[in-house]
Amino acid sequence: MNAELKVLIADDEPPARSRLRVLLTDIPNVTITGEAANGREALSMASELLPDVLLLDIRMPVMDGIEAAEHAQKLYRPPAIIFTTAYDSHALQAFELNAVDYLLKPIRIERLRAALAKAQVLRPAQLEAIQSLAPQRTHFSIHERGRVLLVPVKDVIYLRAELKYITLRTAEREYLLEDSLNRIEQEFPERFLRIHRSCLVTREAVQGFERKQEADGEVHWVVLLKGLGETMPVSRRQQHIVREFSG
């Protein structure tokens, strides 16, 4: 490798991080920018340190490597993703084709050197392929002022589509999310309820429904949301949920 390559290590096991650190010091033109113990910590460090490569263990607490890889692609300058794992599986074959590479533990320096060389050519890893293999997310990633903010899915009250963005509302504030309501609804069918073609509400946040009359005399249903003191309109097409939810 000729160009300098900045690498961030993410693994919950100290011996595994130590092993990677030793191997990387023997590879020319590689700088270790930091070490993280879980996916969330890795994202926080990556947004500050802007590594060229993120070495991600797959099985980690708090946030696993697959979800972290997905969120990492929202960074201002997304790193190349190289997965590391102690477990071989059919999914890893897909990672090898669609991510930059994967390394099976115990990692050999020849494989690590080859993966880093590939990363210089193929970065960033293909987000679409990672998303198709990822488990249900635990957080939504928000791109704000060049950084990635992680909002826990459990904190979301509603999601409302507006032009090319989605307004994500928690009890504290609003965020602008780049995503698709359809994708979110398919990913979390048990958590979110579609009340309008452009709005999903969290089922647990629904306090109830009430009928509301507009100035023109038209009557429609609105959903009452816990903790916000706000109501959201229910479209005619979705009025069946009032009966289903109440029943």
Q: Could you report the per-residue pLDDT of 128-181, keeping only the tens digit for each?
A: 555 555 567 899 999 888 788 999 999 999 999 988 899 999 999 999 998 889
Mind listing the pLDDT tens digit for each residue in 4-49?
899 999 999 999 999 999 999 999 999 999 999 999 999 999 988 8
Amino acid letter at 195?
A: I
So what's the pLDDT on residue 33? 95
- Average pLDDT over every residue of 189-212: 93
Q: Which domains does the chain have, with CATH numbers?
A: 5-133 (3.40.50.2300), 156-246 (2.40.50.1020)
So what's the pLDDT on residue 85? 87
On the question of pLDDT at 94 being above 60, the answer is no
Q: What span, in angstroms and rounded, lies between the C-alpha atoms of 46 and 48?
A: 5
pTM to 2 decimals?
Answer: 0.63
Give the whole-number percent of the chain exceeding pLDDT 70.
87
- The Cβ of residue 105 has, within 10 Å, a number of other Cβ atoms equal to 16
CA atoms within 13 A on the CB side of 95: 26
So what's the pLDDT on residue 132? 58
So what's the pLDDT on residue 11? 98
